[in-house]
Amino acid sequence: MSRMNMVEALNNGLHLGMRENENVVLLGEDVGLLGGVFRVSAGLQETFGTDRVLDTPLSETGIIASAIGMALYGLRPIAEIQFADFAFPAFDQIINELAKYRYRSGNQLTTPVLVRMPVGGGVGGGLYHSQSPESHFAHTAGLKVVIPSNPYDAKGLLLAALREQDPVIFLEPKKLYRTTSAEVPDGAFTVPIGSARRVREGTDVTLICYGAMVPLAEDVARRAAEEQIQVDVLDLRSLLPLDIETVLASVQKTHRIVIVHEAPRTCGYGAELASLIVEKAFWSLDAPILRVTGFDTPFPYRLEKEYLPTSDRILDALRTTVAA
Amino acid sequence: MSRMNMVEALNNGLHLGMRENENVVLLGEDVGLLGGVFRVSAGLQETFGTDRVLDTPLSETGIIASAIGMALYGLRPIAEIQFADFAFPAFDQIINELAKYRYRSGNQLTTPVLVRMPVGGGVGGGLYHSQSPESHFAHTAGLKVVIPSNPYDAKGLLLAALREQDPVIFLEPKKLYRTTSAEVPDGAFTVPIGSARRVREGTDVTLICYGAMVPLAEDVARRAAEEQIQVDVLDLRSLLPLDIETVLASVQKTHRIVIVHEAPRTCGYGAELASLIVEKAFWSLDAPILRVTGFDTPFPYRLEKEYLPTSDRILDALRTTVAA
Amino acid sequence: MSETELIRVLGDDDTSPAPYHPSLDDESLLALYRRMVQTRLFDAEMIRLHRQGRVSIYSSSEGEEALAVAAAMTLSEEDWLFPDYRVSGALFERGVPMEEFLAQLFGTSKDLSKGRQIPTHYGSRQRHIASISSPVGNGIAHAVGFAWAARIKKGPEVVLTFFGDGATSEEGFHTGMNIAGVHKLPVVFVCRNNQYAISVPFNLQTGSDTIAVKAKAYGFDGVRVDGTDALAVHDVVREAVERARKGGGPTLVEGVSYRHGAHSTSDDDTRYRKAAEAEAWRKRDPIDRFGRYLKSRGLWDDARDAALRETLESRIQTAVAEAEAAPPPPLESLFDDVYDDLPWHLREQRQDLTDHLRGLKGRKP
Amino acid sequence: MSETELIRVLGDDDTSPAPYHPSLDDESLLALYRRMVQTRLFDAEMIRLHRQGRVSIYSSSEGEEALAVAAAMTLSEEDWLFPDYRVSGALFERGVPMEEFLAQLFGTSKDLSKGRQIPTHYGSRQRHIASISSPVGNGIAHAVGFAWAARIKKGPEVVLTFFGDGATSEEGFHTGMNIAGVHKLPVVFVCRNNQYAISVPFNLQTGSDTIAVKAKAYGFDGVRVDGTDALAVHDVVREAVERARKGGGPTLVEGVSYRHGAHSTSDDDTRYRKAAEAEAWRKRDPIDRFGRYLKSRGLWDDARDAALRETLESRIQTAVAEAEAAPPPPLESLFDDVYDDLPWHLREQRQDLTDHLRGLKGRKP
Ligand SMILES: Cc1ncc(C[n+]2csc(CCOP(=O)(O)OP(=O)(O)O)c2C)c(N)n1
Ligand SMILES: Cc1ncc(C[n+]2csc(CCOP(=O)(O)OP(=O)(O)O)c2C)c(N)n1
Ligand SMILES: [Mg+2]
Ligand SMILES: [Mg+2]
């Protein structure tokens, strides 16, 4: 066990994963000599050499396409996109190629690429260093999508993703990179993909969240408890596949749901969550499902704090839901 | 009035739009000399010349980026993407640039580009000539998204979109291009963006659909009527902004909802619809909202008929909903 | 060699100039010819099948068989091919039986890709052929990633990728060429410059006079070869493959050619090009030219040609009959291979569909 | 001019060789110098403000002022600039007052873009400057679309776009250059080849020896100019702008330069490059070099230099104080300009937020 922040936990996980399997390579912009602009890959090139930690030209299409080609060869590439906002230039390779290769080849050729990218706001990044594109990925059959909210899960999910036989989109909430640290085992361990985590037990209302919203939700739940609202907080960790059982179990207990995410509301991941709950547990619901999300605007710069879900806005939603 | 199929109606609308405003230009792959692979732009280059109907190199990024540059100059470009599946190579330009230009420039510089693309299945197009990416666009603040289901709306929405001051994603259900024809006025008229159409009046259950699902829904509604299920069929026509009033009015009348679309279910547009209805009309609902959609797989080829929503599957969902 | 010089072996009379010594022995020369004819006849049969509604769409390589076959012929078994939709001859040359390709074209249960792709979008792990996708240019960059992996793992593989002139405008070409140039990867880029991308002529596709010159932007060499001259194509690509294998890095080969037919069975090329243009190119038909060369060398004659065509026609007919008879893929296969496992939501969707089809749904409360 | 020749005006002693006649009159030469010094001092002040937590991020153009300023100086008022994040000098040269640029850097209510973008991502319709976005290379293709429109409308505009060496790997560069080449559009591509894209050195960015040669792939000319030589930059870009204006088509200008500082205030360049390398380039500081030239011509001296710097420093201080005092944009502006109108869902979201902030929500049943 060591105390690690999320960057350290990811870095540690990358070291272990690369040591464990010599077919793992890491590629991306600035991942080598610099060790990544967030330093998640610090020291890896020194340890594993320039043949396994590859600084690429400035082309996200090139990064993902190369990773696909490498995976076809038999490597297990980890592709870093410097910011999730810059996954859009590679969308065609991700959606039309990476996600569909196994299917379209009839299971002959597979592309188990792990695509890492920092997501989300809270760091003053403005329009192009803050976006949360998870629902685009979750809409794409053939991808798995995970997002840790703490150093332990970050490492465990990373190592689990490295054992997956399918492409995994690994979203790293950049706001959490260095804000908290936790005890994390030094050795290898995995957090299974597809399993949510109950962060806090409660009976009055379920608060579903993921990524950087989790610490915020914990804080809100504490405040709610002071008002005698006991919140069941779920950290999804895995968006595709979703841990539907844990979600439904909580619905059956609390009958009231609030969903939180940073991404814009319309067609965000919260829409899918709400729809699934209505489909599968309509008769258990005692109140409308509320969504507290980023607004349906581009991500702003100076008014970022006003844009992102706040503790107050979530608390309001909890109160409304419980009172309904 | 003339009888036109959708291709003819669109072609007619394009002629009118280009005649009306000399700043309208059309650009894309094969739109000029060939008149488009679906012949939607047939005759336009002959009429308006090679300065207004532009055959571009094979680069969707180039098409959208050029259109943005042209719009900044003051033109009103219509950009054709040959198939919606090939919008993915241009996603960065659409999502990061086209949708955000007005916002990020503080309303100084705007990009009123109309982006046309054929969408959907039903024509044996397989993985890459069948996709329905509407929820990606609907998740993108700054875009408007429309999709006609008949020749009249196609022309009216096209002419409305040409008067918009914002980028419009104009989705053309390719299956409907030539399957039906209708009486369409010869002159200019508009169908307002943001307004749904009640296709059929019913009291038992609301069937919400758009695009190529509309004729199917009409057929299902007829069959349901034989079983004494009276279906209120809504053709959304506009996905962003949505005509929420028409939707809610129908919910308040029928209390039961089925949503149909071709795109994969998870994080599809139906998720947003269901969530909005739950948020705004939870107490009016008498049954879970069901979604009949494409499955969460890539779009297949030989088993396309099994993949797409069928009249039977929709009817089953209507029965289930009414019986719930 | 400059990027604008056009490499030719066959002279205007389709005999080779005196000093030329073909790098292929007589048997290989004949094999190359036979493969080109096979491709021509196969493509023609597919167009017939399309007219009869038996194949939904097809892209013929008529006029470009030399490029597909002679280039693919230079590869060794360990090498990999990243093709596009217009090189059936290259697939045959890699050993793909016609029955197997036809299973793909019909999308039957015998199709390696389980009926999931439109015709010509073949792929085979066993035969070292990547899975073809439709978005133009994407495979180019996969080929480069594959070659990068081969370099890293010190594997013996050389990678060859085919694409058209239009594809050079896409990002897959740009980023693939760029990465190949940075790392001097063992990859050969073969561009069929057939003058059109569907209807868009070369002069609206790019401002450069040749495709070959584009290699300069990435720090390696481009070669321009007469794409209707099978011997020239073979020599140029063979040299490029050898260079790649020896660590000499990538080459861009521009094969100057012409699509004799329409872009695909969905296209009508009379809308955008003059019959005279096609006529002129037909005079330089790669099969005719190569046949004349073989005859001039005494290796071939009309009787053998007629016999070959007859044999091939009947093999094609047999293969079609066999392939077409196979049933479609089973319903459940819709949900397979999205993932290695079957997540709950797909299991549910599969169950829903099978229940529905068994008539069980909607009658329950 | 070949793509590998490096165009220089200033010799190693920073005086120009005898036969050179500057295309700028003495006054303009001094204006160019002053603008470069202004840019240098302004950038330095922003780095100071960042250290004090007053500006969140900044990309300095230290060492590359000649490229930004001398190139922008060649434009006429009707022309348009499509810049990136490292050319503050070009903005000033287009007439942007420091106060206005600072309003953007602080994201205040006076910011033309309403505090919506991170520092340096300026844009101004009035000054014919496109709105800068972060995804590298995208603006290059917008510049080309703008030039295409100018061609169609027979407008007088020439378009100039700035980008770095790393940007040449992106699709915006490839597709923009390609389209410009097809239609011989009036656009000048100015690439600052400062040898690094953040940490990635030029030899890992592309396999070509120069950026200039890449123009060949698109059928037009590239020129390689000493980017630390303000006179050479000016002459080369002026010629390119004139060519574009006369209908002679696009030019790619590669300015060979060096980023003296880190990529941005978030970067630590000591992790990936040697101090000695930067030291060597600092000896070719564009401002020092140009200053020595002016002195050699008797147009400038140390006393005037000191006075200039003092004046500029105080103007910068005043501008900062004024700009920083402005309030942030109003809350409601969050929802403006997503669309021309305000659709119902945004109206609702705005109402929810303001209600919430007024403490009205959640207390209702
Ligand atoms: C990204 C993308 N855009 C558009 C298309 C539609 N399309 C298919 S083939 C083709 C033309 C290809 O031309 P070229 O590369 O010259 O190859 P050729 O067919 O001439 O052999 C086009 C535009 C596509 N498949 N993918
Ligand atoms: C599409 C995209 N990918 C990555 C980034 C992150 N990024 C910002 S600047 C930069 C390097 C740019 O290098 P170059 O083009 O050489 O310009 P320079 O900063 O050296 O002037 C990178 C990788 C980005 N902004 N956009
Ligand atoms: Mg072609
Ligand atoms: Mg650089």
Number of B–C residue contacts, CB under 8 Å: 129
The predicted pLDDT at position D359 comes to 82
Which amino acid, one-letter code, is at B90? A
Provide the pLDDT for residue D17: 67
CB–CB contact B142 A275 (8 Å): no
Cα distance between residue D69 and residue D17, in whole Å: 23
Q: Identify the residue whose tokens are 């209702």.
A: D364
- In DSSP terms, D191 is beta-bridged to D163, D254
Average pLDDT over residues B108-117: 98
Three-class SS state of D140: helix
Q: How many helices (H) and strands (E) does chain D have?
A: 12, 8
**Nearest C-alpha neighbor of D324 from the set D117, D122, D59, D46:** D46
Distance from C-alpha of D272 to C-alpha of D280, rounded to nearest angstrom? 16
Helix (H, G, I), strand (E, B) or coil at A207: strand
For residues D118-146, average pLDDT: 98
Residues of D in contact with B142 (CB under 8 A): 338-339
pLDDT tens-digit profile of A200-248? Answer: 999 999 999 999 999 999 999 999 999 999 999 999 999 999 999 999 9
Confidence of residue B305 (pLDDT cuts 50, 70, 90): very high
Q: Are A273 and A208 in contact (CB under 8 A)?
A: yes
Q: Is B150 left (phi over 0), alpha (psi -120 to 50) or beta?
A: beta
Residue type, A187: G
- Which three-class secondary structure state does DSSP give residue C171? helix
The DSSP element (H or E) to which B53 belongs, if any, is strand B53-55
The answer to whether D206 and C174 have CB atoms below 8 angstroms apart is no
Burial label for D84, CB within 10 Å (0-12, 13-18, 19+), is buried
CB A241 within 8 A of CB C344: yes
Contacts of B245 (CB under 8 A, 6+ apart): none
Question: What are φ and ψ of residue B198, in 5° steps?
Answer: -80, 115
Residue type, A80: E
Q: Select the residue of C169, C183, C218 nearest D208 (Cβ to Cβ).
A: C218
Distance from CA of C205 to the nearest CA of B (A): 5
Chain D residues with beta carbon closer than 8 angstroms to that of C171: 171, 174-175
D363: confidence class by pLDDT, cuts 50, 70, 90:
very low
The correct CATH number of D6-329 out of 3.40.50.720, 3.40.50.2300, 3.40.50.970, 3.20.20.190 is 3.40.50.970
Chain A residues within 8 A (CB-CB) of chain D?
Answer: 29-30, 32-35, 37, 55-59, 61-62, 85-86, 88-89, 124-129, 265-266, 295-298, 300-303, 306-307, 312-313, 315-317, 319-320, 323-324
In sequence order, what DSSP letters do the residues of D228-273 get, joined into one string? T-HHHHHHHHHHHHHHHHTT---EEEEEE---SS-SSTT--GGGTS
Round the average pLDDT of chain D to a whole number and report it: 95
Within 13 Å and on the Cβ side, how many CA atoms surround C349? 27
| Nearest CA owner, ligand 2 atom 6 | A82
Test D345 with B241 for CB contact under 8 angstroms: yes
**For the residues A127-152, what does the mean pLDDT come to?**
98
Q: What is the mean pLDDT of residues B224-242?
A: 98
D263 is catalytic: yes
Q: How many CB atoms lie within 10 A of CB B106?
A: 23
Contacts of D346 in chain A (CB under 8 A): 295-297
Count other C-beta atoms under 10 Å from residue C305's C-beta: 16
pLDDT the model gives residue C361: 54
Distance from CA of A59 to the nearest CA of C (A): 7
Q: pLDDT tens track of chain C, all 365 residues?
A: 456 799 999 988 888 765 677 789 999 999 999 999 999 999 999 999 999 999 999 999 999 999 999 999 999 999 999 999 999 999 999 999 999 999 999 999 999 999 999 999 999 999 999 999 999 999 999 999 999 999 999 999 999 999 999 999 999 999 999 999 999 999 999 999 999 999 999 999 999 999 999 999 999 999 999 999 999 999 999 999 999 999 999 999 999 999 999 999 999 999 999 999 999 999 999 999 999 999 999 999 999 999 999 999 999 999 999 999 999 999 999 999 999 999 999 999 999 999 999 886 544 43
Mean pLDDT of the region A246-272: 98
Give, as one character, the DSSP assignment of residue B200. E
The pairing of strands B76-80 and C251-256 is unpaired
Contact A139 B136 (CB under 8 A): yes
CB–CB of D126/D117 below 8 Å? no
Distance CA D295, CA D36 (A): 16
Distance of alpha carbon A324 from alpha carbon A254, whole angstroms: 13
D357: pLDDT strictly greater than 60: yes
Q: C205–D213: do the CB atoms touch at under 8 Å?
A: no
Q: Is the pTM of this model over 0.95?
A: yes
Best A21, A52, A53, A73 residue to mutate vs chain C (most C CBs within 10 Å)? A73
Residue B172 has pLDDT above 60, yes or no: yes
pLDDT band at D21 (very low <50, low <70, confident <90, very high): confident
- One-letter amino acid for residue D191 of the chain: C
The predicted structure's pLDDT at residue D365: 37
Residue B135, classified by CB atoms within 10 Å of its CB into exposed (0-12), middle (13-18) or buried (19+), is buried
Residue D364 has pLDDT above 50, yes or no: no
Mutate to test the interface with D, among A61, A86, A130, A295 (most CBs of D within 10 A): A295
Of residues D303, D237, D234, the one with CA closest to residue D25: D234
Query: What pLDDT does residue C3 have?
Result: 66
Q: Which residues 6+ apart lie within 8 Å of D303 measured at CB?
A: none
Distance D195 CA to ligand 4 centre (A): 5
Q: Which residue has the tokens 């706040």?
A: A310
What's the CA gap between C315 and C320, in Å, rounded? Answer: 9
Which residues are in the CB-under-5-Å shell of ion ligand 3? C 164-165, 194, 197
Distance C121 CA to ligand 1 centre (A): 13
C208 at interface of D, judged by CB pairs closer than 8 A: yes
CB B211 within 8 A of CB B120: yes
DSSP helix, strand, coil percent of chain C (3-state; round to 5): 45, 10, 45
CB-CB neighbours of C364 under 10 Å: 9
Q: What is the per-residue pLDDT across D220-255, written as a single tens digit (0 to 9) for each?
A: 999 999 999 999 999 999 999 999 999 999 999 999
Peptide bond into C19 cis (omega under 30): no
Q: Which of D62, D64, D168, D198 to mutate to test the pocket of ligand 2 (most atoms within 8 A of CB)?
A: D198
Q: Chain centroid to CA C55: how far?
A: 18
- Decide: A121 and A216 in contact? Cβ < 8 Å: no
**CB atoms C116 and A104 under 8 Å:** yes
Q: How far is the CA of C44 from the centre of ligand 2 (A)?
A: 50
CA distance C196 to chain D (A): 15
Question: What does the block give as tokens for A126?
Answer: 């403005």
Measuring from atom 18 of ligand 1, which residue has the nearest CA? C164
- Other CB atoms closer than 10 Å to residue C268's CB: what's the count? 11
Average pLDDT over residues D192-210: 98
Question: C274: how many CB neighbours lie within 10 A of its CB?
Answer: 10
D18 pLDDT higher than 70: no
Does the pLDDT at position D258 exceed 70?
yes
Nearest to A298 among B100, B289, B296 (CB): B100
What's the number of CA atoms in the CB half-sphere (13 Å) around residue B93? Answer: 36
Cβ separation B69–D145 shorter than 8 A: yes
For ligand 4, the distance from its centroid to the CA atom of residue D162, given in whole angstroms, is: 11
Q: Tell me the mean pLDDT in the region B164-171.
A: 98
Each residue's pLDDT tens digit, C206-238: 999 999 999 999 999 999 999 999 999 999 999
**In chain C, which residue's Cα lies nearest the Cα of D249?**
C207
- Do D184 and C172 form a contact (C-beta atoms < 8 A)? no
- Residue D187 Cβ contacting ligand 2 at under 6 Å: no
The one-letter code for the residue type at A305 is K
Tokens found for residue D107: 């994201």
List of chain B residues whose C-beta atoms are within 8 Å of the C-beta of residue A274: 271, 274-275, 278-279
Reduced to 3 states, what is the DSSP secondary structure of residue A139? coil
> What's the B63 CA to ligand 2 centre distance in angstroms?
23
Q: Which residue out of D40, D94, D224, D259 is catalytically annotated?
A: D259
Among residues D209, C75, C201, C303, the alpha carbon closest in space to that of B34 is found at C201
Kindly list the domain boundaries of chain C, sorted by start residue.
6-329, 330-365
Rounded CA-CA distance C21/D64 in Å is: 56
CB neighbour list of residue A230: distance below 8 Å, 6 or more residues apart:
A201, A202, A203, A204, A205, A224
Mean confidence (pLDDT) of chain A: 98
Quick: pLDDT tens for D106-123: 999 999 999 999 999 999
Angle A60-73/C171-183 helices, nearest 10 degrees?
70
Residue C307 CA to residue A200 CA, distance in Å, equals 80
DSSP category for residue B240: E
Q: What domains sit in chain A, N to C, each tagged with a CATH number? A: 2-184 (3.40.50.970), 197-323 (3.40.50.920)
Q: How many helices (H) and strands (E) does chain B have?
A: 12, 14
Rg (CA), chain B: 19
Q: Which residue in A183, A182, A208, A212 sits closest to A197, CA to CA? A: A208
Dist. CA B158–CA B190, nearest whole Å: 8
Alpha helices (H) in chain B, listed in sequence order: 6-20, 44-48, 60-73, 91, 101-104, 134-138, 151-161, 213-226, 244-254, 269-281, 304-307, 311-323
Answer whether A88 sits within 8 Å of B88, measured CB to CB. Answer: no
Q: Would the CB of A88 count as within 6 Å of ligand 2?
A: no
Q: Decide: A289 and A281 in contact? Cβ < 8 Å.
A: no
Nearest-angstrom CA–CA distance, A293 and A314: 9
User: Model confidence over D48-103: pLDDT tens digits?
Assistant: 999 999 999 999 999 999 999 999 999 999 999 999 999 999 999 999 999 999 99
pLDDT of residue B81: 98
Provide, rounded to the nearest whole percent, the portion of chain A with pLDDT above 70.
100
Mean pLDDT of B65-69: 98
Contact B69 D344 (CB under 8 A): no
Q: CA-to-CA distance for C300 and C308, rounded, in angstroms?
A: 11
- D363 CB within 8 Å of a chain A CB: yes
Mean predicted confidence (pLDDT) in A60-72 = 98
